[in-house]
Amino acid sequence: MHILHVVGARPNFVKAAPVVRAIEKIISARQTLVHTGQHYDQNMSDVFFSELGIPVPDVNLEVGSGTHAQQSASVMSALEPVLISQRPHMVLVYGDVNSTAAAALVCSKLPIPFAHVEAGLRSFDRTMPEEVNRVITDQLADFLFTPSEDADRNLLREGVPGSKIHRVGNVMIDSLVRFLPQATESSLNRIPHPYALVTLHRPSNVDDSADLERILKMLAAVGERLPVILPIHPRTRNRIAKSGVSLKNCKLLDPLPYLQFLTFQRYATVVITDSGGIQEETTFLGVPCLTLRKNTERPVTVDLGTNTLVGNDKDALVAEVEKILQGQGKRGSVPSLWDGHAAERIAKCLLGSLSRAYAS
């Protein structure tokens, strides 16, 4: 049996790593790792493979950056001949990046069965490219591995047969559980405590100069209450410099490797983000999270976890930070099946299905 994984961006690597390991233990299968190259520099890609213990990719499509259409088309045209030549019994795709939706389209037209890891998440905001990718991938997938009950409901409401849906838990938490013992406070490199950890990456927040300036002013207001740590892509760093907004209490860093970033999350007083995965990780860690969005595809982090949506409201952001500093921050719980064993459940499900298909 042959299982092929398609990954393209840092969140994919974190999700794929435990699945690759679980399949090695549970299924007698050859595994092939295809890296689309959607994230392609060392800090955004290579170092994640080495830290997470993922084998060097067997294939790197090296598609690079571009518009959504250009990047998706590049992945499709480069991936198709790989799948035709390798003819895997199953393809696994992860998350909601362009590489995921592109791979789903290629698999469905060849056709090759494929599974979507982290299926069913919905923000119900079709202006988000990630939401379009989620809907497309889920409608085409043969197996849908979901992290939470709300994801199951979303898929059933959209007409996905219940037999395709398998709630397994959150594979991103599998990686977190595995590496958390290594995330020790001694590696914070003299970062003052308390501090706010901030991440910004969504185009709606960083690509438009007016939107970015608004968010920077929000962070400057937070910086008046406690130091702000902001790992940022060099492209966004240049835009920050051009904005003219004073960030005297904000420390800008280059993008961090996985383990170091996990350490920063673990010991943060508050995390301020626009990332979906970080909403999940902070919920597991019990760290208050303030999300700079009006919606989230991970409502379980709001309903059960430590996440609060503050949108673009500076007053709301500062008020929530103040509550946290006063010891009144949101205290959440960990959702069901976020236990570090989601990948094992995926592997066991695939084993049963592939064994029946292979035998026939």
The span from the CA of 197 to the CA of 278, in Å, is 11
pTM given for the model: 0.94
Arithmetic mean of pLDDT, 318-323: 97
* Same domain for 202 and 295: yes
Angle, CA of 310, 255 and 322, to the nearest 5°: 30
Could you report the per-residue pLDDT of 11-21, keeping only the tens digit for each?
999 999 999 99
Domain count, the chain: 2
Per-residue pLDDT for 42 more than 60? no
* Same domain for 148 and 194: no
* Same domain for 161 and 220: no
Residue 332 lies in a domain: no
The predicted pLDDT at position 360 comes to 63
Of 100, 92, 80, 95, residue with least CA distance to 20: 92
Q: Which residues contact 174 (CB under 8 A, 6 or more apart)?
A: 18, 340, 341, 342, 343
Residue 181 lies in a domain: no
Identify how many contiguous H helices and E strands the chain contains and give both numbers: 15, 13
Residue 29 lies in a domain: yes
Residue 115 lies in a domain: yes
Res. 49 pLDDT band, cuts 50 70 90: confident
* Same domain for 146 and 23: yes
* Same domain for 343 and 213: no
* Same domain for 241 and 152: no
* Same domain for 49 and 146: yes
Question: Which range of residues forms the domain containing residue 128?
Answer: 2-170+338-359
Query: How far is CA 5 from its chain centroid?
Result: 16
* Same domain for 163 and 203: no
Query: How far is CA 155 from its chain centroid?
Result: 20
* Same domain for 257 and 143: no
The span from the CA of 83 to the CA of 103, in Å, is 10
From residue 307, alpha-carbon distances to 16, 212, 315, 321 in Å are: 24, 22, 17, 12
Could you report the per-residue pLDDT of 182-212, keeping only the tens digit for each?
999 877 877 888 999 999 988 778 878 888 8
CATH number at residue 70: 3.40.50.2000
Per-residue pLDDT for 39 more than 80? no
* Same domain for 130 and 85: yes
Mean pLDDT taken over the chain? 93
Residue 177 lies in a domain: no
Could you report the per-residue pLDDT of 57-104, keeping only the tens digit for each?
999 999 988 889 999 999 999 999 999 999 999 999 999 999 999 999
Active site residue 233: no
* Same domain for 354 and 219: no
Set 2, 201, 233, 341: catalytic member: 201
Residue 178 lies in a domain: no
Residue 179 lies in a domain: no
* Same domain for 277 and 345: no
